[in-house]
Structure 1
Amino acid sequence: MVKQDSRHPPLFLWGPRSLPQLFSSLHVGFLLETSALIFMCVLLELLEDLKGTSRLPVHAKKISGLEEAIRIRRERELRTSPTSKRRPALRRGKVSQRLLVPDHIPRPPYVGSELLPDISKEHQIHDSEGLARMRAACELAARVVDYAGTLVRPSVTTNEIDKAVHQMIIDAGAYPSPLGYGGFPKSVCTSVNECMCHGIPDSRQLQDGDIINIDVTVYLNGYHGDTSKTFLCGNVNNSMQRLIKVTEECMYKGIAVCKDGALFRKIGKRISEHAEKFGYGVVDRFVGHGIGTVFIRTSHISPPSISLIGNDKSGHMVEGQTFTIEPILTLGTTDCVTWEDNWTTLTADGSPAAQFEHTILITRTGAEILTKY
């Protein structure tokens, strides 16, 4: 424990010249009773307070081990949060039969085969007619995912969300793109808590304090629109709320660097830099991808492959091109495990994950988000 020496002013009054005195005032007993790691975290809190003053500009990147201290502090917050208890590990529920799609609705070419479609070799660049159809598909996907979010509440099953989403899509004359893709049995992906992505809707009821990513893709007039959001279910603890907020910020920071001629690797650089400020991991196994007349998932990538971490890959954006940006951030490890269904992918340590996704169009001066309305 640190005692306040009467010869020195309170900590919040100390300026940069007094910082050496701060270290000298720490009693040896503090180091004996407190681990070096906790001491680093306490020091971090002090530096963050002083950073807000004009007397001591602090650059966190210059402090060794600072990012790791932030990460550990975030994990400790999650474990000790008074608003949450340790969540039980996610378990598979009962998966109901596939829902039917009316015969008059056009199907994507992969429907009817249990195999993943061949990898597309072409970038998705559209003429004026194709772009109009692309806008319509993306606008529908955006409306569907927002509607799905209104259904999120404790006791609702992800199967019920899937059924409602399915009905809204076919009512619009569109086909739910995930249904039948490589054998995927449902019309939407619902990824709860530690599920990174590709969760299959089932009979599990959402619990108070859960988070859920709902990933919607629709096929309309020969074009796919793809988007996802992470939603709160009931009273979600502060650590998970912060994870969701930063993940969405990362997506928009990645979008902000996009324009005709820009290097694709700038996206991953910007996302990684922002995530690291908060000690979050960025999953590198799943990436953004081209989208349009072709729909892809998992390792079947329609070019370009948009790495969401720092990298040195070549390649630049072209006006008229459409692709997704969809970072997944975790509170712990970025390592993952996949269930026997070959789709549901979870963090290896059971820590929460969040994801956001938009489909964008590259313009001469920037990027237009198509999955907004």
Structure 2
Amino acid sequence: MAGASWLMTHLMDEAERQFSSLVELQRDLHAHPEIGYEEKRTSARVAEELSRLGLEPRTGVVETGVIADLCGEAPGNTLALRVDMDAFPIDEAPGLAWRSRYPGAAHVCGHDAHTAIGIGVARVLARVKAQLKGTIRFIFQPAEERPLVEDEGERPYREGVRAVSAAELMIRSGALEPDVKAVFGLHLWPALPTGRIGIEQGAAMAGVANFLASVYGRSAHGAMPDQGVDAIAVTAQLLSMLQLISSRQKPPSEPLVITVGTIRGGDRRNVIADRVDITGTVRALSSELLRNTVPGHLRAMFDGVTSAMGASYDLEYYPLIAPVMNDAALVQGARAAVASVLGGQAVVPDMEKAMTSEDFACFAERLPGLYIKIGCTVPGQPVLPLHFRGFRFDESAIKYGVAAMAAIICDRLATGDRDGLEV
């Protein structure tokens, strides 16, 4: 495999050659952010870039998604690279010449960089396709930040519980057909310095479930609380008990975060509230914990407290996204491939577990998947978190992301034949 080895050592050089134009692309996307299912300009740019490489992009997948196949010179397996494109619904902080031009939308989660990295990987692999055995499917996905709420408007305060992710919709639209063997994804990661690539064994991101509960009491005058059932008092008991699930009803080694995000109830200061609605999320690295253990404890808790206090309740619990689980074989291959291009020091195998979620999990539930994290913070500089309206990142992360992902894919598809290599 001498040819494959030679190829791997030159991927960073190719990423460097593409770097300046990829930064221009990223800044253009950053200045024109589009939230989920509205990425018309973004998807047009993606399709244009892919067409320049001689690919035939399929557009309009789940409204604004783009899919294209890059075929190597020899037949073989099909691998997929999934890239998210959408912006976040927030106003961006001032400070950049290429700041968002659109009120209420900003790339504060790095999806503009992800898109640029995806295009960069396509460019690099197009130049070395003579050495590739198989096909790379590029899946540019809309709306990672915006699950399609199925019951919005049917519940109080427009808090939908049931939703379907854009990743799931892409899969239903044939993104993995006819025979994709493995899928890869990536994300900028501010906790890592630029040039480092996180490649974790097991869970790379948490799964998430939504819940909505309505607690029903009986209204009464505030001066005569004994004649009513105070839904606020019942809810207060429930809120304090919810955290016991995390601290007392599962092993300490299994991370779990239960968040109540909204509480709404009562009509007047001197009236006992007859209803309180709460919404929240549950995040875990274990599917069993997320899908079975937590909802069981929630219902037992609500049963006991409301029964003891003369109230009643409705509870809806909906697992939205599973944890992102990295395939063990893909992890080992990826670590070796990235080390061969960026050096062994670039690979970060162990990281603090992230309790954020990602609908890439929908792909990785169906077939072997690998989700890597691209360091994007200048060493010594403050870490700016994702979804922060002033989020900034080191643009050099783009070239490292391109080189890392191109290496991972080449490692699985390279023929070892140096003939015909375009450099």
TM > 0.5 fold call: no
TM-score normalised by the chain length of structure 1: 0.29
Higher relative contact order (CA 8 A, sep 6+): 2
TM-score normalised by the chain length of structure 2: 0.26
